Amino acid sequence: MTLDEAARQLEQAIHDSKVAYDCIGLGHIDRAHTSVLTARVAVDAAETILRHALAQAQQGGTAGG
């Protein structure tokens, strides 16, 4: 996995968060909840990638990109 994938996951999280926000405004609470959960999964994936990149950098490897 590369840092590009972390960035892609964060972009997905932003999108899902915006969808959740719009759904709340429209009263679609169930869909908002689903979008919040998918946003959280994307953020968690990005954090995992970044944690791995940091560990590699601390061991003298490359962070990818």
Q: pLDDT tens digits for 11-65?
A: 999 999 999 999 999 999 999 999 999 999 999 999 999 999 999 999 986 655 5
Residue type, 60: G
What is the predicted pLDDT for the residue at 60?
A: 87
More confident residue, 16 or 1: 16
Contact predicate 1/56, CB 8 Å: no
Q: Quick one: which of 60, 58, 50, 53 has its CA closest to 7?
A: 50
pLDDT over 90 at 3, yes or no: yes
Spatial CB neighbours of 26, under 8 Å, sequence gap ≥ 6: none
What is the predicted pLDDT for the residue at 64?
A: 58
